[in-house]
Structure 1
């Protein structure tokens, strides 16, 4: 009996999911994210001085408090990717509150190479008055040493 009702020649239904279209979509998304990720800049635009120095110890998993001074002398406090412009007189209070919540959080200063030296020293003195024992300075390696 060879007809359309013959069960011997019928194929079994597949119980597997075809994942090839999902892989294609995932690869397209990966390429899109790889292209757009370098375009996303976070933080304050600061032209850092270029010096050779030893990197700081990154064994501490806490997000550091980054105090940035831009070319115009404006001060920004960054914690966890959130930039906030502050005045110098309220900087000490804000950092003291952050250190109260998370004691031992590292504090780093990003100063633009064109910022006044006196302003950076005043900023570091304000941080010391807020209870910061050690302040790290952020710089960029000279071209060719990266």
Structure 2
């Protein structure tokens, strides 16, 4: 789950069908299968929150009778990378409150492991300001 808190960003990668753009206060769900590419930020002040779930944990909560989620499930099952929806959604007040509690939790480090267990999947949050351009890689097998 990607939450753009401040600034604008654009990501492009070999396994992405198109570039992914985010503006301040937007969110979306991204499935990244071994993503490798570049991410660019348009402003000096940039902040995001990423919450990564294990694939098995996430699949447990995908609704069965939804065209939107069925299309996303097909992307996942084909091993492609993609977004839940082509249009990013606005971050709500409730989402901001939850993100703020994650950011301000007492755990240390850039990557804050919130929960790690066989039954609950891996949930991690990465929060912070980053450089204007950064190379990114994500391999779900290493999560």
User: Please, what TM-score do these two structures have when normalized by structure 2?
Assistant: 0.20
User: Please, what TM-score do these two structures have when normalized by structure 1?
Assistant: 0.20
- The answer to which structure, 1 or 2, has the higher relative contact order (CA under 8 A, 6+ apart) is 2
User: Which structure shows the higher strand fraction?
Assistant: 2
Larger gyration radius, structure 1 or structure 2: 1
User: Which structure shows the higher helix fraction?
Assistant: 1
